[in-house]
Amino acid sequence: MPHTPELLDEFTDQNGVSLLALSRRQPVLVVFLRHSGCTFCRQALADLRRERQQIVRQGTEIALVFMESLERAGRFAAEYGLGDVPRISDPQQRLYAAFELSRGAVGRVAGPRVWWRGLWAVLAGHFPGVPHGDVTQMPGAFLVHQGQIVKSYRHATSADRPDYCELALPVHT
């Protein structure tokens, strides 16, 4: 993994706390989101809102990584009851690249399977919006503790839905 503690220390949330510092306090479920217009990004935030209490009871904090400004990300997260969750802005996608989250080809972001799952997401109320960021950037979720990736989930398509509660379970050695 090409990320370093220095890079994790460089990226700070809306309160000035670095991702490294967050991970030293307790395990952190770091969720990398696509652009805010993405139906699946909206679905992910709704999933996190629903599962947040269980994730916190497991001893894990949630942090969100966006490709847009902290202000815009804050408004977007607040729409889903997650306005107080640590959020990190990475418009140059340096953190995305460090966590080996690729840019998706057409089939990964808009193929038939993605359209089908998108239809179901829209029917569930997750309507698309205006994209702000790289529409080809793939999302992912990682459990980070003490500056190290403990667990990872890299989406095969933009429509994938990880089990956030399972991913957020700390690993005990």
pLDDT given for residue 135 in this prediction: 66
Cα dihedral 102, 108, 110, 116, rounded to 10, equals -140
Assigned superfamily of 5-168: Glutaredoxin (3.40.30.10)
0.85 exceeded by pTM? no
pLDDT in tens, 68-88: 999 999 998 999 999 999 999
| Residue 99 DSSP one-character state | T
Percent of the chain with pLDDT over 90: 61
CA 55 to chain centre: 14
The answer to whether the CB of 33 falls within 8 A of the CB of 171 is: no
> What is the distance between the alpha carbons of residues 166 and 148, in angstroms, rounded to a whole number?
18
pLDDT at 173 over 60: no
